[in-house]
Amino acid sequence: MEAQMNQVLSAQWLTAARDLIVHYSLKVIGVIVVLVLAYVLAGWVGRLSTLAMKRRNVDPMIHGYLGSIIRVVILVFALVACLGIFGIETTSFAAVIGAAGLAIGLAFQGSLSHLAAGFMLLIFRPFKVGDAVNVANNLGKVDRITMFSTTLDTFDNRRIIIPNASVYGSVIENLTHHPHRRVEIEVGVSYGASIDRTRQVLEAAIASVPGILQGEGRMPQVLLMKLGASSVDWVVRVWAPTETFWDVRQATVRAVKVALDQEGISIPFPQMDVHVSGR
């Protein structure tokens, strides 16, 4: 009799376990399907929104930021839907969810600061996609801004990802914000050279440089700065379009050096004379 009771209980337990496994297996499969579909949908909607913004000529700086927010929102809704699949009523756990949200916020306050910093970058726009910037001691061209980070491509083709809080909290130097930039070349000549003749040579040198700008507030300048320890120091200033800044700078340096060499005006370098006296 006892053996029969044990067999019945075992059969009932196995049946209950099988039903439970089948029941929750279907739910687990449903959750996996929902998450996979949400991941695919989030990527598709993010790309679609980016394409729509490009067609409407929306600032490229906003593309990555809004696209990443859209993807995160879709995934969050998918997680809430997964809770519903398991029969968890999220409305009845509002207080628990709020407390959990506070705990998560405290745990991820660094990430939230990056999110807020990215939002501030979009509002104040210290740079835009494609600008050459020097930020957080990194020099490169802005590729995109996402929810938590800013991506730069350096001029030697390296990818640098900087947290948004580090970008917004540091000094930002935008090298391509203005359409024109000033080229400034310092040069020292020997004390034996005539000041007036040196000025004429330097002015003629910069007049031969192609691509420099001339106009109100942007005239080339040759300035006598100071009498240095071993040279008479000059500064040559010309203006150039931002996109050809380095070409104009290189041409200016070359023109100054060639002109001084042709006139026999030497460029001295620091030196020390040591006199040894014997007894």
Q: Is 244 a residue whose pLDDT tops 90? A: yes
Q: Domain 180-262: state its class.
A: alpha beta
Instruction: Give the position of tokens 């050096």.
Output: 257
Domain positions in the chain are 12-107, 126-174, 180-262
Return d(Cα 141, Cα 278) in angstroms, integer.
Answer: 62
| Helix runs in 144-244, H state only | 164-168, 195-207
Q: Is 93 a residue whose pLDDT tops 60? A: no
State the pLDDT confidence band at 206, using cuts at 50, 70 and 90: very high
pTM of the model: 0.61
260, two tokens:
């001084």
140 backbone dihedrals φ, ψ, rounded to 5°: 180, -175
Return d(Cα 163, Cα 113) in angstroms, integer.
Answer: 9
Q: What is the CATH number of domain 12-107?
A: 1.10.287.1260
pLDDT digits (tens, 9 = 90+) for 154-164: 999 999 999 99
* pLDDT at position 182: 95
Its CATH architecture, for the domain 126-174, is: Roll (2.30)
* pLDDT at position 143: 92
